[in-house]
Amino acid sequence: MTLSESLYVYFGQYVEAPFVVLFGDMEPFTVGLIFSAVMVFLVFIGVRVFLAAAVVGLLGLVALIGWEAGTGMAGTVPHSKISSFTLSVLPMFILIGYLAFHAGLTQAVFDAARKWCSQAPGGLAIATVFATAGFAAVSGASTATAAVFSRVAIPEMLRHGYDRRLAAGVVAAGGTLASLIPPSAILVIYAIIVEESVGQLLLAGFIPGIISAVIYAALISARVIWNPKLAPPTQRYPWGERFRALPGTAPIIAVIVIIFTAIYGGWATPTEAGALGAFVVLVIALLKGMKYSSLKNALFETAKLTAMIFSIIWGVLIFVRFLGFAGLPDAFAAFVGSLDMPPVLIVIMILLGYMILGMFMDAIGMLLLTLPVVYPAIVGLGYDPIWFGIIVVKMAEICLVTPPIGLNCFVVNGVRPDIPLNDVFRGIGPFFVADVATVGLFIAVPEIVTFLPKLMLQNL
């Protein structure tokens, strides 16, 4: 007796029979709506996304195609997708970030940024933005970036008399840059879901990520000029000391150059570029005297985060396969295509839906659950999938700092419990407005996003 047959004897027959009675005469679309509502309800009451998606997807498949076919599909989908070579890029990018953190490379980047930005209004806060952007280029994880700079930058800003709301807001917002600036784990996940080029998406995020950082810096300067009490002037450093701080940033710059040129030049896949970057950081960390305990922690933390992300992916993939049988993606695409309104207005409405949904879900789960339905509609409207990927990931950034589930804000508060969560959310307010304006810019001028990927295709 096979495992599936054994499960049917002890469990499946008690599930399949009532499901046939309840859903046997229903249209697949109606069954899809019912189970999707159950899925949303489970997530809202706090059930883990991977568990809710896997269970609801399995039961939905059983309701539509029976126990044997449903369990067989649910059993094969996770392995067939998770064993994909494309997904191997994720642990490489995550490892780069943890090795860089445990090797102490973040402090050197912050020190250099602080000395070079010392003359600008709100120089320490601006330095934090550019330092988080630099760390994002080797981390790829927003929460990790926020946690690191809550320890590194906030004490420095508070010591110099900066407003604590500004200090907390800068770190929480700066952490979101890791979602765009390559290597970005969430861009890789988007590429896997919609089956687009990982390399093109990583390149597409580079310019928007830099523009987001520059907009943050301009916002800080404008606020401090308007209200100097937010950030008192700090020490100004001579040019010689500024240049002496630059060598400390060399490891991170080296990793950025390696990953960017390898992918752009086409001589390495994103996974190979990530592995090379991780090797370079490891060598640098060992040369800097990295201890075995730190290396072990970096490897364990990489394994734990990778397992968490992979669990979400395989769980949601079962649910996505159920959605395909129910016909929801095609139905939504047909509905969107029939709307008598400008396509850009439809896109804005979809993005507003993401903003609302992101208040209650983590970014990865949100994208995994919605893209199988939303993506066909976007393509049907004639939009570039690479462009939409950057836009939707930018929306995921915004969700990382919006209440009630602004994950980066909780991270900052967790590392710095002396700053109330309410103050963190208040500090993020101006950056939220800046992010919305940035999304508007990318919608109005899509070439900002598509320039590098198109250039890459021309050079291949």
pLDDT tens for each residue of 79-98: 766 676 667 777 887 788 77
Q: Within a domain: residue 329?
A: no
**Would you state the structure tokens that stand for residue 334, as one six-digit string?**
């047909």
**End position of a domain, from candidates 35, 57, 84:** 84
Question: What integer pLDDT is reported at residue 177 of this predicted model?
Answer: 84
Q: Of 84, 104, 128, which closes a domain?
A: 84
Residues of 157-175 as b/e, b for ≥16 C-beta within 10 angstroms? bbeeebbbbbbbbbbbbbb
Mapped to the 3 state alphabet, what secondary structure does 283-331 carry? HHHHHCCCCHHHHHHHHHHHHHHHHHHHHHHHHHHHHHHHHHHHCHHHH
Rounded CA separation 67/19 (Å): 10
DSSP notation for 407-428: HHHHHHHHH-TTS-HHHHHHHH
Distance CA 460, CA 448 (A): 20
Q: Considering only 161-170, 216-225, 397-406, which range has the smallest mean pLDDT?
A: 397-406
Check if the beta carbon of residue 168 is closer than 8 Å to that of residue 128: no
Per-residue pLDDT reduced to its tens digit, 246-302: 887 777 777 778 777 777 677 777 778 778 888 888 888 888 778 888 888 888 888
Distance of CA 147 to the CA centre of its chain: 15
pLDDT in tens, 361-373: 667 777 877 888 8
The pLDDT score that the predictor gives to residue 440 is 92
Q: What is the pLDDT of residue 67?
A: 67
Contact 124, 171 (CB under 8 A): no
Angle between helices 123-139 and 89-102 (to 10 degrees): 140
Is pLDDT of 215 > 90?
A: yes
Confidence at 458, pLDDT banded by 50, 70, 90: low
Of the two residues 14 and 289, the one the predictor is more confident about is: 289
- Looking at the structure, tell me whether residues 25 and 159 fall in a common domain: no
Residues 73 and 99 grouped into a single domain = no
- Domain identity same for 162 and 269: yes
Cα–Cα distance measured from residue 100 to residue 270, given in angstroms and rounded to the nearest whole number: 19
Residue 303 in domain: no
Domain boundary among 39, 56, 84: 84
Q: What is the DSSP letter of 9?
A: I
Q: pLDDT tens across 94-144, in order?
A: 788 778 777 777 777 878 888 888 788 888 888 889 888 887 777 666 777
Highest mean pLDDT among 6-20, 271-285, 320-334: 271-285
Two tokens at 167?
């200090």
pLDDT above 70: residue 405: no
Whether 328 is in a domain gets the answer no
362: three-class secondary structure by DSSP: coil
Q: Are residues 217 and 238 in the same domain?
A: yes
Helix%, strand%, coil% for the chain, nearest 5: 80, 0, 20
Q: How many of the other CB atoms lie within 10 Å of CB of 44?
A: 11
Q: What's the number of domains the chain is made of?
A: 2
Q: Please indicate, yes or no, whether residues 155 and 219 belong to a single structural domain of this protein.
A: yes
119 falls within a domain:
yes
Q: Does residue 3 have a pLDDT over 70?
A: no
In the predicted model, what is the mean pLDDT of residues 334-342? 77
**pLDDT given for residue 301 in this prediction:** 80
Question: In the prediction, which pLDDT does 457 show?
Answer: 67
Instruction: DSSP for 193-219, please give it.
Output: HHT--HHHHHHHTHHHHHHHHHHHHHH
What stretch of H or E contains 441? helix 421-444
CA atoms of 34 and 42, how far apart (whole Å): 13
- Average predicted confidence (pLDDT) for the chain: 79
- Is the CB of residue 173 less than 8 Å from the CB of residue 154? no
303-307, 347-351, 433-437, range with the lowest pLDDT: 303-307
With a pLDDT cut of 70, the percent of the chain lying above it is 88
pTM as predicted? 0.79
Percent of the chain with pLDDT over 90: 7
Residues in the chain: 460
The pair of structure tokens assigned to 331 is 């139905």
**Is residue 123 in some structural domain?**
yes
Print the domain residue range for 16. 3-84
| pLDDT band per the 50, 70, 90 thresholds, residue 10 | very low
pLDDT at residue 212, rounded to an integer: 92
Q: For 150-156, what is the mean pLDDT? A: 84
The Cα 120–Cα 236 span in angstroms is 10
| 178 and 68 assigned to the same domain | no
**Could you tell me if 425 and 406 are in contact, meaning their C-beta atoms sit under 8 angstroms apart?**
yes
Q: Are residues 65 and 99 in the same domain?
A: no
User: Among the listed ranges 131-135, 250-254, 379-383, 404-408, which one has the minimum average pLDDT value?
Assistant: 404-408
372 within 8 A of 323, measured Cβ to Cβ: yes
Q: Is 182 helix (H, G, I), strand (E, B) or coil?
A: coil
d(CA 122, CA 114): 10
- Supply the pLDDT for residue 81: 65
* Omega within 30 of 0 (cis) for the link into 233: no
The DSSP code for 178 is G
**Does residue 130 or residue 71 have the better pLDDT?**
130
Comparing C-alpha atoms, which of 314, 375, 368 is closest to residue 81? 314
> Is residue 425 in a domain?
yes
And the tokens for 32?
Answer: 């899809």
Same domain, yes or no, for 59 and 116?
A: no
pLDDT value, residue 205 = 87
| pLDDT value of position 460 | 55
Buried b (16+ CB within 10 A) or exposed e, 314-351: bbbbbbbbbbebbbbbbbbbeebeeeeeeeeebbeebb
State pLDDT tens for residues 410-430.
Answer: 888 888 888 888 888 888 889
pLDDT in the model for residue 361: 67
Do 182 and 272 sit in the same domain of this protein?
yes
360: nearest Cα among 33, 41, 143, 51 = 41
Q: Is residue 318 part of a domain?
A: no
Residue 90 zone, left/alpha/beta (φ > 0; ψ -120 to 50; rest): alpha
Kindly state whether residues 244 and 226 are assigned to the same domain: yes
Crossing angle (nearest 10°) for helices 292-326 and 89-102 = 150
Residues near 77 by Cβ (< 8 Å), separated by ≥ 6?
314, 317, 318, 321
pLDDT in tens, 16-60: 556 555 565 677 788 788 888 888 788 777 777 778 888 888 888
- My answer on whether 248 and 140 are in the same domain is yes
Longest dimension (CA), the chain: 79
Considering the domain architecture, whether residues 154 and 175 belong to the same structural domain is answered as yes
- Look at residue 57 and tell me if it is in a domain: yes
Question: Distance between CA atoms of 224 and 230, rounded to whole angstroms?
Answer: 6
Which amino acid, 202?
A: L
